[in-house]
Amino acid sequence: MFAPHPDRPLLEPSVRRQLATLLLATALASTVGAVAAPTASAADKNCSDFPSQKAAQIFFIKAGGPSSDPNGLDADGDGIACESNPAPYYYGTTLPGGGGGGGTPSQPQVTVVSSAVALRVAPNRRIAGERYQIKVSVSPAISRPVTIQKRVSGRWKAFAKATTSPSGTVTKGFRAPRRDLALRAVLTTVTKGSTKYTGASSPARPLRVQQQKVTLDFAKTQVPQGRRTRATIEASPVRKGRTVTLQVRSGNGWRTVERTAVDRRGRAKISVRPALGRYAYRAVAARYHGAVSAKSRSRDLTAVDVTPPPAPTDLVASPGDGTVALSWSRSTPADFSHHEVWMRTDTTDWALLTETTSTSFLAEGLENDTVYWFTVDSVDVHGNVSTRTPEVSATPVAPTEPMGRLVR
């Protein structure tokens, strides 16, 4: 097995056997050590990777906790990993049963304290877009995370997150949505040192979203041309000092007539002189401290022409056989509609004979040898009637028959 060296004596057989055994053991030890050595560090862990707080705590200790926390399982640095994980719990800083440290396990006595939480909404009635505040108070008064939830389709969903101050309160501001809200505050279990604070939920509190209403009314919806009427605007819910605008329809849009502010009752009054004709008006409550704008329904306001047209002139009556031919002159305004022809006798009252757009008329079916009186007026499209012309008279007569030849 070994070649003899010329200068060295041969080893005894027993020595050679001991040396071979020693070399074999050394080789086996190297092989086992190489197999047992880890090839890479364990993957990072999160609290959700463990079925319980106890399992997370044991892993935490084995990874070097509480002096070292390479996986970030002890967020608040109190030596307790994954405090929000479910039972079973273990708050020791050495392995259970003395493992890993060789001594007696160190598991502090934990005091469980019941928690309470309250939520307040102020103001609890708002117009969509207005700001409101949520104040959360926890008891005992400590700094801890809180979740504000809103109820959606019968289920509670996270709405906002916050952390209370050391005095146990936190206040946050929000803008009101377009619909009512039900809100509550929720606490999860938290451990501070050797004290474990239980989770809790507050009673639900409502935020009432108020629907806006804007109305417009006129003291009179029809006024003579050039006269004024009073417009009254009301906006609710009442926000004293809120700007309101009176607008009139102009083409395809709306033109502002006047702008003012409501009083403490939510009312504003505006004096209006409408243009001739009928027009649509509306009132608009402007955006105010976040509240969205709102509009009233449109209302019609009519200014009526009360100016009569000029009276006809130069009325002439020419009698005939059972007839009277009338003619006159006129000045025709833009809003002219027609003439009215009136007639009477010495024994009858005035009666409307006809309506015509002409400047002449033939009265027929009259009795000869009877005096008839006539007058004419003008009417415009708004129903205004002029004064009548001076009366004229005429007496229908039968024609005189020519003398016939003498009969012999």
State the amino acid at position 69 in one-letter form.
D
Q: Are 203 and 233 in the same domain?
A: no
Coil, strand, or helix at residue 388?
coil
361 touches 324 (CB < 8 A): no
Q: Are 133 and 183 in the same domain?
A: yes
Q: Are 218 and 204 in the same domain?
A: no
Kindly state the percentage of the chain with pLDDT values over 90. Answer: 68
Q: Is the pLDDT of residue 168 over 50?
A: yes
User: Is residue 34 included in any domain, yes or no?
Assistant: no
Pairwise pLDDT comparison (53 vs 118), residue with the higher score:
118
Taking only the tens place, the pLDDT of each residue in 119-148 is 999 999 999 999 999 999 999 999 999 999
Q: Is the pLDDT of residue 406 over 70?
A: no
- Number of independent structural domains in the chain: 4
Q: Are 242 and 288 in the same domain?
A: yes
**Band of residue 404 on the pLDDT scale cut at 50, 70, 90:** low
Phi-psi domain of 7 (left: phi exceeds 0; alpha: psi -120 through 50; beta: other)? alpha
State the amino acid at position 390 in one-letter form.
P
Q: Is the pLDDT of residue 8 over 50?
A: no
Pairwise pLDDT comparison (396 vs 78), residue with the higher score:
396
Q: Which of 326, 347, 300 is nearest to 393 (CA)?
A: 326
Burial 348-366 (b: 16+ CB within 10 A, else e): eeeeebeeeeebebebeeb
Distance CA 381, CA 305 (A): 9
Q: Are 162 and 133 in the same domain?
A: yes
Q: Which of 159, 178, 210 is the last residue of a domain?
A: 210
User: Is residue 21 included in any domain, yes or no?
Assistant: no
Taking only the tens place, the pLDDT of each residue in 11-52 is 455 545 655 555 544 544 444 444 444 433 456 889 989 998
Q: Is the pLDDT of residue 233 over 50?
A: yes
User: Range with the lowest mean pLDDT among 32-41, 197-206, 360-369?
Assistant: 32-41
How confident is the model at residue 17, as a pLDDT?
Answer: 60
Taking only the tens place, the pLDDT of each residue in 59-108 is 999 998 888 899 989 877 777 888 778 778 787 788 887 555 444 444 55
User: Is residue 408 included in any domain, yes or no?
Assistant: no
pTM: 0.57
Taking only the tens place, the pLDDT of each residue in 334-344 is 889 999 999 99
As a whole number, the mean pLDDT across the chain is 87
Q: Which domain holds residue 291?
A: 213-304
User: Is residue 298 included in any domain, yes or no?
Assistant: yes
Q: Which of 145, 177, 210 is the last residue of a domain?
A: 210
